[in-house]
Amino acid sequence: MTDTFSLLFVAICSIVLLTYLVVVRKVHAFIAILVAAAFVGLGTGMRGADVLASMQSGMGNTLGFVATIVGLGAMFGQFLEESGGIDRLSQTINNKFGDKNSQWAVVLTGFLVAIPVFFEVGLIILMPLIYSLAKKSGKSLIYYGIPLTAGLAVTHAFIPPTPGPVAVASILGADIGLVILFGFVVGVPCACLAGPIYATFLAKRLHVPVPSHIIEASHKKPQALPSFRSVAALLTFPLVAILVGTLAKFTLSEGVLKEALLFIGHPFIALTIATIACFKVLGKKQGLSREQIRNIASRGLEPVALVILVTGAGGMFKQVLIDSGAGQAFADVVALSPLPPLAAGFLIAISVRIIQGSATVAMLTAAGLMGPVVQELAFSPSVLALMTIAIAAGATAMSHVNDTGFWIVNRYFDISVKDTFVSWTCMATLIGFIGLFLVLVIGLFV
């Protein structure tokens, strides 16, 4: 099989196979992606040894970058959670904004909290705050809950060091600093429109009381929490350092200053410094022993093992697509299509998302198929970053009953399936399509 049609047919069949294994056979995504990658290689006529070498290369190249960032980010987030840093952040922001602007305080809190912690963890930690605000004001739980989930979902999808955008950026070869920059530019309007604005509209039509069985989780006393200033500094340092490093790469001439900024601004170094600072500021200054600090760091790594493996499998899938020529066939089709490549990435991601539910699998599948496209069309660093956001937007939209996020919101809001569609699914879809629109607009100028 060497002609374009046959190669494209195999690529499409691999997506069907992947979907069948995940949705029908309930095979774990890691195994399903491995099988799909091997299918592409063998189906396009590659020798078995070449398929294995391609799979190994793709896994190694992806994990060399992703595993380090995701691991450091996980330890960083665990310290912020267990030290009370997240509590301090949410309390201070809510107090500063006041009751009148509490919706905006909630969306900002969710937006910041999801930078170091997973979506589900952030939701569980912050739901007592939402229950408290709804009970105090008498407003619908939707009024505060949707802004929270919007802030969490946008950051989790668009802004590194969360695993999704890191994995997609690695597969596409996008600069992490530019992904962070465009993630903020696109993410802030998405969070505002799909969060407080949509929630205000929906809460007038859907009143959801605080569940009667809810017992508010106890928070640490304010004097036991770390200071807001230290938490904010720890949270923003790696992002600022990475952004400064990215700006230095494109604006400064060669010299000692540029080398220093590039070194400190590399995600490995920026996150390592931030994590070590967490050990000191949120560990030793809070009276924790070295053993306790080590245990917290270890707990942070536990939930990311599967994420890292699935991400590596996505890199493997991309490499086999490239080495087999199937990816090139897909790139040729996209290049000849009137559809903008950014929209193509979005459509692939949202299609996979609708069919099998997992945002991670949707991102990795779309990134694997678009990887050869971005190589063939030689996109600029800015467009590569926008492609990362477009794929993330597609993988965020249309969350429904085959997505675990759907049921987490359903449980914590204590609402019907219908109301979960109206609230959570519509909010996630707004984020996706607003994100696509903004990406396409920005793409006209970069």
Instruction: Supply the pTM of this predicted model.
Output: 0.86
Q: How many domains does the chain have?
A: 1
Going by C-beta distance under 8 Å and a sequence separation of 6 or more, which residues neighbour residue 320? 37, 38, 40, 41, 46, 51, 54, 55, 58, 326
- Domain of 332 in residue numbering reads as 4-443
Query: Letter for the amino acid at 337?
Result: S
Between CA 423 and CA 387, with CA 363 as vertex, the angle to 5 degrees is: 100
* pLDDT tens sequence across 424-433: 999 999 999 9
* pLDDT tens sequence across 296-342: 888 888 777 777 888 888 888 889 988 988 877 877 777 778 889 99
Query: Residue 360: what pLDDT?
Result: 85
CA distances from 80 to 121, 226, 287, 296, 355 (A): 12, 9, 15, 10, 35
Q: What is the mean pLDDT of residues 181-195?
A: 96
CA distances from 310 to 33, 113, 362 (A): 8, 24, 12
Q: What is the mean pLDDT of residues 70-88?
A: 85
Query: Letter for the amino acid at 84?
Result: G
State yes or no: pLDDT of 220 exceeds 60. no
* pLDDT tens sequence across 35-67: 999 999 999 999 999 999 999 998 988 888 888
* pLDDT tens sequence across 107-163: 999 999 888 888 888 888 888 889 888 888 889 999 999 999 999 999 999 998 888
CA 144/CA 123 separation, integer angstroms? 12
Q: How confident is the model at residue 190 (pLDDT cuts 50, 70, 90)?
A: very high
* pLDDT tens sequence across 355-410: 877 888 889 989 988 988 888 888 899 999 999 999 999 999 999 888 888 988 99
Query: Residue 136: what pLDDT?
Result: 85
State yes or no: pLDDT of 214 exceeds 80. no
Query: Residue 202: what pLDDT?
Result: 95
Q: How confident is the model at residue 443 (pLDDT cuts 50, 70, 90)?
A: very high
